[in-house]
A and B are shown apart, each in its own frame.
Chain A
């Protein structure tokens, strides 16, 4: 009996100390490098669950591993919703992989935070200068990431619907003006055929709000932050033009032109004819064309005064700063920059190829193709989200302000509070100088 009790006590102590030991190690300093075991490099991607894109990543890795004997890249895929938090957690534990992908607007934040190291891709098959500017992730004049594709925003509609209500079909030479657009929405609403004539995807969450609606803010002449020195939002985000945007955006919901909260995936509603005009990303272009054929109209954004605008920058590839085998990581990045992979990505994901050469080889996106107009939008209208480490914060504040506007908040107050919060954040972070 005595023996048994003593053994129990000792076992408990052993378990307990083992637990603390393990916990202590995990939170301790650990190694300063990670992500590679000799010449075996780990690669993280956000593509789990998106098999089309994941297959391209797998193919590049297979080709790379087969093309030489020195390095081996190993893939780890995460679901998109958990990806960013996984990276942040890994970075705090100094366990980042060598290679990882990063959403365009986050590049500055991760570069500033020391997650990423500058990369050098000179001498690769596709030169950087061939790429759409929005697919190149630079921070403080250094290259940190590059993407194989970008996405574009557009109004999707049906020619038959627009013609039926005598609404002019806009072109890139002559996009809709604000007055024209408002009149068209009023007409469509009055017809009674559509509960909500315009579908803006207000059921989306997270980055969609900034990606989808801040270009409209910029077309009004407003912006998220003063892009001169990236040191203040007051006077810009709550300036006269921005408030005008706020009034307009809020009026869309007040007048019943858009749903305050649409379905999480609004595309089926558009395909079913529930909405007449859909503000959406190019990723749904093929689906829309399949359904409507020649009736589908891909329309340029409205010119609210400062020219039509769409957002730029999608997922890009980068190298972590803690990578223990940077030569290997650079080799993979350079290897991946082959024209055929630019083509593969665009074909698999229905996105816009980052280079002109690749566009020519993707059906529909070649000059004269039915989706080529999307490539031209990206070339002429794309404006990247502010390149500052403060961007993730700015984005959450803009999202909140936009949601409040739809719920009926006073535009001056909502945007004023957002601007004030952003200024505060910039100040308490020493303007992200570190």
Chain B
């Protein structure tokens, strides 16, 4: 087809249109692979999930899927586990977003200092990020056991006066334990993002602040913080979305238990859709999840918009 277009090209043209044409052709060519992949692996599956949510599709079934209207949604809103999943997901996000973003910023400020050996600390803080979440989850499952390392340390530090709980086996401590581990694993990534932001701040600003006799806090409050505006938005949005899609840790460590204290929306979707073969029901959960994340992202976008 392109060859045909070439033949049809007018013999005489101005230089500018031909250059622009070439440019747009290049752009088209470069965008195509990404667009095609996005279409095949994102747009089509999402559209399918939306459609499936209104059918009775099952993973294993001799009969084709039928349209059943809102049945999956009425069942979902009648499902006590779904509300627990929602509650746990919001709980996780509400704690992890400020905790992880704040801790990452503190670490970034620390490793931004110009002292010897700072690269060592940068590497150490970043190490968990490049480790697979499945491996990390497995290791922490051992650490959290009743007779695991965490409880040994607690026992030693308190001279045997205090025995830690069975962290993942107790509904009261399971989610906090997962949160702690997740923050530990993810904090390095956002530290690097903050660090990148910190290094874009011109040194003149700090010099000027010094000349004005600003304290360390003043410098942070009036130079660093305002200059990190873009970075802040990025960190906030990425942590929020990652927190909402909490799944791997749960799947490996608790499978949603004990007593549904760690089940999340995504975990429930995978469990019902795959383990329990209820494809359409899982699609309905995914649809609700999509709406939830979209709503939160829009609110964040609104709150962090550029004010003219």
Contact = CB atoms under 8 A, between A and B. Distances in A.
B117 interface: no
Contacts of A425: 276, 278
B166 A260 contact: yes
B169 A5 contact: no
B89 to A, nearest CB: 19
B258 A9 contact: no
Nearest to A8: B29
Interface string A248-264: 00000000000011000
Interface residues of B, number: 40
A9 B26 contact: yes
Given A9-B25, A12-B32, A19-B40, A91 B255 contact: no
A49 to B, nearest CB: 18
Contacts of A114: 62
Interface string A399-411: 0100110111100
Contact of A109 (B30, B35, B60, B71): B60
Interface string B17-30: 00000100110111
B169 A115 contact: no
Nearest to B71: A428
B36 A407 contact: no
A84 B300 CA distance: 42
Nearest to A433: B63
Interface in B238-277: 255, 257-260, 271, 274-277
A88 B169 contact: no
A113 B259 contact: no
A5 B40 contact: no
Contacts of B296: none
B33 interface: yes
Contacts of B278: 393, 425
Nearest to B72: A428
A20 interface: yes
B9 to A, nearest CB: 11
Contacts of B168: 261
B171 to A, nearest CB: 7
Nearest to B59: A88
Contacts of A417: 80
10 contacts: A6-B2, A16-B33, A16-B35, A16-B36, A19-B36, A20-B39, A20-B40, A261-B169, A396-B276, A407-B259
